[in-house]
Every structure is written in structure tokens, then in C-alpha cells.
Structure 1
């Protein structure tokens, strides 16, 4: 009976971790675009540059994990007339949008880092893209 309870708890953990990988929903009136590693995008008076992937420990799509993992990236935000700011952004199982910049006329959010890991693709072969929403 004790073993049955332990198995049930482990299965529940796996199901919970899998459910947390759902992608966030997007409103129809918002603009989304992707930045490749090292690329930048000018949005009004703000320039966003995707600098680096610091960590990617997200659970691969084709594996059941107890912990969903996370990805950590670094971006640079340069607003006209102000000094550049570097921010670390964490993508985890919560699926929350990470706000990179807010001003009177624009809100820039980091919403997704792709590709999502798979065991069939080596880490050094991944070409990362950061999806932004304005």
C-alpha cells in the first residue's frame, strides 16, 4: 500500500510538471516578433537586443520530468537618451510574460524562447529565438 501511494505521488508530480508547459495566450491586437541570438529590434524609441542564453534546463518535450526546468537569457534595453540596461529573463513553468520595458506608449514583453529542448537535438545545434510581444 505504501508503494502504491509513492507511485501515485510521483505520477501526480509528472502530470503537474507537464501541465505547466502550456503556452501563454496572446491578444489579437498585440504585435509579436522574433529576435535571433545577437539580433536587435527598434520599437519606437526603444531598442531590444537578444544577448545570450545563460541557461536552458527546461525539460525536453519528449521526456517526462519531475521538475519542468527553466531557461535564463540576457537582453539589453536601450531607450533613446538613457544608458543601456541589461536584464536577465527567466522562462519557467509558470508561463508568465516577462516585462522588459514599460513606457507611456509601449509595453514590451518576452513571451517565449524557442526552440524548446528535445533529446534528439544537441544543445550546441540549437538556434535560439526570443519571441517578443508589444
Structure 2
């Protein structure tokens, strides 16, 4: 049995195709939305406790941290929806070839960046 096998331990030399990056981002944004949901539920519960709780949440959401969390949450939701639609189209048998899959992944990422910038400008 040969013991020589390729080993690539330098992670910075690995290059992923756009479709792999898109798939990884889809999973990462799903996890990010889970943790963002925890914040949203806590803020919602705190705002319903009293008028002071509502004022505290309102002040937090109007501050720098609140805006960053809001933009991040909406950004994660946007990418997850775009990539989910891409996966649905792929489930119907389109964009399954390497070239079209990579192109659809690039379009998804570019749309996500554009929408995130627009949302960031609107929310800021």
C-alpha cells in the first residue's frame, strides 16, 4: 500500500470555486440568522415588559451597535433567501453544470453585496 498521498495543510493555498463559496455562505448565514433571532427575541421580550424596556430597546436600536446588528441580520437574511432561491432553481434541474453554477453563484454574491449596501444606506 502506498503511503504517499497529497497533503495540503496550507489553508491559504486552497481556492474554492464560486459555487462552493456560495454554498458555505448559505450555511454561515443560516447560523448567523439563528443567533440574530436570539437577539431579536430578547429585544422583543424586553420591549414588551414595560415602557422603560421599550425605551431601552429603542435607544439600543438607534445606536451604533443596534444599527450594525440590524444591517447584519437583514444582510444574512437577504443572502440566505437569494442562495435559497438559487438552490430551488438548481433543484428544478437548471444551473447544474459547472460554468452555469459558478455564474449563478457569482450573480448571487454580487446581488447580495448590492442589496446589503442599499439596505445599509437606508437603515443608517
TM (norm. structure 1) is 0.27
In proportion to residue count, which structure has more strand? 1
In proportion to residue count, which structure has more helix? 2
TM (norm. structure 2) is 0.28
* Larger-Rg structure: 2
The one of the two structures with greater contact order (alpha-carbon pairs below 8 A, sep at least 6) is 2
